[in-house]
Structure 1
Amino acid sequence: MENGHSTEGAVGRCLTLDGNRSLIIGDKHLVLDDASGKRLIPLYNILWAEVVGSQLLIDYAAQPSKTSIKHEKWTYEIPATDNRPDRPEPEAFAAALLSRAYVDAQPRKRAYVLINPNAGPGGALRKWDREVKPLFEVARMHMDVVTLTKGGEAVELAEKVDIDKYDTIMACSGDGTPHEIFNGLARRPDANRALSKIAVSHIPCGSGNAMSCNLYGSHRPVFAALAIIKGVVTPLDLVSITQGDRRLISFLSQSLGIIAESDLGTENLRWMGSRRFDFGVIIRVFRKRCYPCDLAVKVEVDQKDGVRAHYKRHASEASLHQKAHAESRHESEGEGLPPLKYGTIQDDLPEGWELVPYDKIGNFYCGNMAYMAPDLNFFSAAVAADGCMDLVTMNGDLSPITATKTLMSVESGKFFDSPHVSYKKISAYRIIPRNQEDGYISIDGERIPFGPFQAEVHRGLGRVISKRGAFEALGPSNWDSVTVAERLHA
C-alpha cells in the first residue's frame, strides 16, 4: 500500500463515508480522504470490493517491502442518512471500483492448478498454501487443485482437461510443468482450439522460473499470484521441434552446448538453486568446450542494428497482443497442430536452406522469451508474438577469461552488444551435432535425445497470462540504461 498526500483528481465516483470521510476512485489509486489527509491504494492492488449489509468491504494486496505482499482489508460503515440525489449507491461504487481495478483483466478467473512438490529445491506446496492460495481466495478465483505425483502427469492432465471449464491451467512449479502443459494441449485432437483458448500461467517454485520472470517480472510466488489475478490473456509464439518421428512443442528455449550442459548436467546440484547454472558455466568455459555441428537457419533479421529496430518497432505497439490474436485466429481454424511449413528433420533440407559447418561453436541458444532466470536476460530483443525466435551463438574458441566475461555480461545487460555474440531473428532452423556420440540438448530445460532436430515457429499459437500484455523485458526507450535486476525488482 502507498501512503501519503496526493492531488490526484477523481476520474470515477466519490462515496461519502461515516466520520466525514470519503472514498474517491482516482486515475491510478483508490483515495481515502479524511481529516488526517489522503491514503492511497494502487488500483492494481485492489483485489475485491463488495457491500455486505451496511458495510463496504475492500480487499487489497499491501506491499510492506519490495519482497513481500500480504492481504489487508478496509471496512467502512455506509451512512444511512445521506439522501443527496447525486450520491452513488454503495453497490454501484463497489462495481465501479472493481471495473477500474481490473480494466482489461478478467476478474474471478477459473484456474486448474497443477502443483509439482518436487520442483527446484522443493517447497511448492508450502508456498502455495501460505502465500498464493490466500490471495486467490480473496480475489474470488475458482480453483481446482491437483498435486502431481510423477513426471509427465501434467501432459496427461492437460491432454484430458475440459478447456471450457477453466480460463487458465496454472503450474505451481519450475519451467518443466508449463512445458508439459503446452505439450499436453498439443496432443489433443482439438490442439489448435485448446492452445488458443486456455491460457497457461506460472507460480514460480523451481530453480530458474523463467516463465514467471518473463510474464510477471518476478520470481517470487506471491508477486506472480497478484500478476495473474490482474493479468491479461496474451498470445505467445510456440515452436515445433521435430526429432526422428517425434514432434513436440517448445515455449521457452532450445539449446546445445555450454548452456544446455550447465543446466542439464548439474541436476545433482539442485540444492544450489539457480546458482548451479553459474557453477556449470564456469567449469565448461575453463575446459574450452566446443560443440561442432552443421546448422541451417531461416533468417528474418540478420544484423544487430536490424534486430534492435525490429524489437523497438514491435514492442512500441500497444495493441500487439490484439493484432496477434487476430492474426492467429486464421491459423487456428484447423483441428490439430498447424501443418509444418518446412517439413520435419526427416525431410530433405528446405529449398534455399544451406547447411553451414561450425567447428567451434561454444553455445547454440534459441528462444522466444527474454529471461532464462531472474538475472539472465539472454534474449533482450524477444517479443511475445512477433513470429520469430531469437538465436544467440558464441564462439567456443575464446579464452576462458573472455568467455566468462561474455557470459557474465548477461547480468549487466551488455550481452547483446558483445562482439563475441551473434544475435539473429529467425523463423526456423535445422541443427545436426557432429563428432560427439552423446551430449545434452535442452528443450525448455528438458533433456531430449542427442541428435539432429529441426524447429519452426508458429506465431501466436499459444496463450499465457501476462502482467501487461507483453514480456517483462527491457523496454525500447531504456535498453541500455535499465539493468535486469532493476527491471525485475522495481
Structure 2
Amino acid sequence: MSGVVLEGYLNEKLVKAFVEDAQLVVRAEQELVHLPVELVLRASLVNTNNSILVQLKVLAPTPSDRSCSSCLPTPNSKRKHILTREQWQNRDCDPHVAHLTHTSISIHVPNKNQAEASAWIDQVQKLAYPNESRQRILVIGNPASGQGRGKEVLQKQVIPIFQSAGCTLKVHQTQKRFDAFRLAQDARTQDYDVLVCVGGDGTMHEVVNGLASREDVAEAIALPLVPVPCGSGNGMYVSLHGASNFNVSLACLSALKGTTHAQELCAVTQDAALFPNDGAFACQGQASNGRKYVQYYSFLSQAIGLMADVDLGTEKFRFIGDLRFSLGYIMGAMRNKRCEIDIQVVLGEYGSTDRGRMRQRALSDVPSTISKGGRAASARKLRYGSVLEPINMTEEPLELTRMSAQDNGNSASRSWRRVNESVSTLYAGKMPYVARSLMAFPYASPADGAIDILLQTQTSSFFQKIGSLIDGEEGNHVLRPGMHYFKVEALRVTPKKLARQRYLSIDGESMPYGAFQVEVSRLSMVLLSLDDEVWRAPILQPPAASKHETTQDPNRPQGH
C-alpha cells in the first residue's frame, strides 16, 4: 500500500480504501473496486450528522458484464468492479474496457477521521488529474445520428459522466443540417475548455467549419474538440482511439483528461455557382478572373468516384451500420464504372510517391514547418489559389507506376502535374481511418504538410478490388495491384462531365458534384486523446506491439 489508507464503512461493512501503483482499491471482505486511478471522475467530501461521507465518482466495468468473468477468481466472488493497469494500457483492444459505465461509491468515515479522509481525497484527485482538468464543457449533439441513438447516448451517458465529474455544461441539440455549424459559429468559445461533438463525422465537419468561418478564427479553432461516436463511420474517433469499439466513456474521459494534439485541416474550394442554396456555411472569395468561389474545410476525407458513391449512395441503408459500406463497395466493383475526371497535383516540399519515405516520416513524427494560426486574413489565405485560378502545368506527368528523385517532394516542385490514369475512385484525406473497417490512409500524419491520396484504377479486376476491400481494415490495400498511394500538397479534380448519380463526398457529407481543389491549410484544429504521444495508425506501431507489420512492403524500410 502507498500513501494514505482510508478506513470506513460501505453497506455496513468495514472497508479499506487506498491507492497502490496508481490503482484505486476499495476493499471489504473481498475486493469491491480495483481500477486505474485515471478512471476516477471526482472524489469529494460530504458532511453528515454522525460521519463524513467520501464520495467517489468513477468509470468502471459493469458488474453484470460477462466479459469481465476472466477477472473473477471464483464464481462466488463478491468483487464488483475490476480493471487492471495492464488492461487499461491495452484499452484500444481489451474487451474489458469496452463496457465502462459511470458509477458512484460512498464510504462513511467517522468524524474523528476527517483529516485523514481529506488527505486521501487530495491524493486521489492529484493522481486522477495530474494536469489541469477541463471543467467548462460545451456539447453539440445530433440526436438523430446513429439511427436516433445520438439522443440516448447524450442523455444517458455523456451528460451523466460530465455531471459526475462536476463539470459546468452547456448542451445544444441540433434539429437540421447546418445547426451545428451555426452553434459553433455563434458560441462564446472563450467561456469553454472543450467542445464535445456527439454524433458522426458530419457533425464534426459542421463544427469545424463553424469555427473556421469566424472573424476570431485563430482563437476559436484553438478550442479543443472531442468526437463522441454515434454516426456510421466515425473516422475521427477511430483514428484517435482505435477500431475495436465505439466507447463513449473513453471519449468523455479524453475531454476531461486528454492530451492536446494539433491536426492539420484541408482547405477546399469550389465554384460558388455550384452552391445556390447552402453556400452560406462557407467563406466567400473572388478569383483573379472576377468569378466567386466558396472555401470550406475538411478534416477527414475527400472522395469522388466509387468511394463517394459507396459513402453517399448507400444512405438509405444506414440502418445496417458499417455493413452498408462493404455491400455498396461490392456492388460498385461489379459495375466497374469509370470516374471521368482530370487530376492535377502539386508534390511540393512534403509530397512523395515513395511509400517507404512516407512511412519513415510518419514514424518520426516530424511536425510541419508550415506556420499555423495567425489572424483571419492570413489564416485562411490559400497557397495555391482557388479552383477557379489558372494553374502552372509542367509537361511531365506524374508517373505513379515508377519512382524517381523528382517524385520525392522538394521546395522547388511547386508546379502542377497531371496524373494520367483511368480512375475508378480517388480518395484523399488526413486521418488514417474513415470507418472501423477501412484504414484508408495508413501513413497519414497529423502535421506533415501533405494530403494522402489513394487512387484505384478502373482497369483493376473485380477480384483485385475485392482484395483491396478485405485488406483495407489493416491498411494493406495500398500494396494491392491497381492501387496507388501517394502524398501531395495540393490537388485539383475536374469532372469531364456532370454525370447524374455521381457524388462528391467531403468528410462523408454530400457536396455539389463539380470541380474542387484541396490544399493543406494554415489552420489546424486541436484534438484530445488519452495518449500522450501524437496518434499513429496501427500499421505504424512498433513491430512487437502490432499485428499489422506482417505484410512485406517492398517500399517499407527494413528493421521497422
Normalising by structure 1, report the TM-score.
Answer: 0.85
Q: Which residue of the partner structure matches residue 47 of structure 1?
A: 41
Q: Which residue of the partner structure matches residue 400 of structure 1?
A: 462
CA contact (8 A) 1:392 1:424 kept: yes
Q: How does 1:2-41 map to 2 (within 5 A)?
A: 10=2, 13-18=3-8, 22-32=16-26, 36=30, 40-41=34-35
Q: Counterpart amino acid of 1:156? A: R
Q: 1:109 to 1:350 in 2, by over 3 A?
A: farther
Q: Residue 380 of structure 1: SS of its match in structure 2?
A: coil
Q: How many angstroms apart in 2 are the aligned matches of 1:447 and 1:479?
A: 41
Q: How many angstroms apart in 2 are the aligned matches of 1:145 and 1:39?
A: 32
Q: 1:472 to 1:99 in 2, by over 3 A?
A: farther
- Deviation at residue 357 of structure 1 after TM alignment: 4.4
- Tell whether 2:404 aligns with 1:362: no
Q: Which residue of the partner structure matches residue 254 of structure 2?
A: 227
- Tell whether 2:373 aligns with 1:338: no
Q: Which residue of the partner structure matches residue 515 of structure 2?
A: 452
CA contact (8 A) 1:121 1:207 kept: no
CA contact (8 A) 2:216 2:376 kept: yes
Q: Which residue of the partner structure matches residue 212 of structure 1?
A: 237
Name the structure where strand makes up a greater proportion of residues. 1
1:356-392 Cα offsets, whole Å, 9 max, x none, are 2434111211111111112221111222233222211
- Deviation at residue 22 of structure 1 after TM alignment: 4.6
Q: Residue 189 of structure 1: SS of its match in structure 2?
A: coil
Q: Which residue of the partner structure matches residue 466 of structure 1?
A: 529
Q: How does 1:69-148 map to 2 (within 5 A)?
A: 69-78=100-109, 89-104=116-131, 106-148=132-174
Q: How many angstroms apart in 2 are the aligned matches of 1:285 and 1:15?
A: 63
1:440-477 Cα offsets, whole Å, 9 max, x none, are 11110111112221111136611122232533631431
- Which stretches of structure 1, 4 residues or more, deviate above 6 A after TM superposition? none
Q: How does 1:57-68 map to 2 (within 5 A)?
A: 57-64=55-62, 65=67, 66=95, 67-68=98-99
Query: Over the residues paired in the alignment, what is the CA RMSD in angstroms?
Result: 2.7
Q: Which residue of the partner structure matches residue 360 of structure 2?
A: 309
Q: Counterpart amino acid of 1:478? A: P
Structure 1, 211-220 or 254-263: larger mean CA deviation: 211-220
How many residue pairs get matched? 458
Structure 1, 164-173 or 459-468: larger mean CA deviation: 459-468
Q: Which has the higher contact order (CA 8 A, sep 6+)?
A: 1
Q: Identity over the aligned pairs, expressed in percent?
A: 27
Q: Counterpart amino acid of 1:464? A: L
Q: How many angstroms apart in 2 are the aligned matches of 1:134 and 1:472?
A: 31
Q: How many angstroms apart in 2 are the aligned matches of 1:136 and 1:409?
A: 38
Q: How many angstroms apart in 1 are the aligned matches of 2:46 and 2:181?
A: 42
Q: 1:102 to 1:458 in 2, by over 3 A?
A: farther
Q: Which residue of the partner structure matches residue 283 of structure 1?
A: 331
CA contact (8 A) 2:340 2:497 kept: yes
Q: How many angstroms apart in 2 are the aligned matches of 1:184 and 1:100?
A: 36
Note the residue ranges of structure 1 that are not aligned, 5 or more in a row.
1-8, 315-319, 485-490
Q: How does 1:151-166 map to 2 (within 5 A)?
A: 151-166=177-192
1:170-220 Cα offsets, whole Å, 9 max, x none, are 221111111001111111111122112x12222211111112212233423
1:259-283 Cα offsets, whole Å, 9 max, x none, are 1110111112222222111121111
Structure 1, 19-28 or 346-355: larger mean CA deviation: 19-28
Normalising by structure 2, report the TM-score.
Answer: 0.75
- Deviation at residue 421 of structure 1 after TM alignment: 2.3
- Deviation at residue 40 of structure 1 after TM alignment: 2.5
CA contact (8 A) 2:345 2:418 kept: no
Q: Counterpart amino acid of 2:254? A: A
Q: Residue 477 of structure 2: SS of its match in structure 1?
A: coil
CA contact (8 A) 1:291 1:363 kept: yes
CA contact (8 A) 2:460 2:481 kept: no
Q: Which residue of the partner structure matches residue 450 of structure 2?
A: 388
Note the residue ranges of structure 2 that are not aligned, 5 or more in a row.
68-94, 272-292, 394-413, 550-560
Q: Which residue of the partner structure matches residue 187 of structure 1?
A: 213
Q: How many angstroms apart in 1 are the aligned matches of 2:544 and 2:438?
A: 15
CA contact (8 A) 1:311 1:476 kept: no
Q: How many angstroms apart in 2 are the aligned matches of 1:15 and 1:263?
A: 55
Q: How many angstroms apart in 2 are the aligned matches of 1:113 and 1:345?
A: 35
- Deviation at residue 89 of structure 1 after TM alignment: 4.5
CA contact (8 A) 1:228 1:465 kept: yes
Q: 1:73 to 1:128 in 2, by over 3 A?
A: same
Structure 1, 209-218 or 176-185: larger mean CA deviation: 209-218
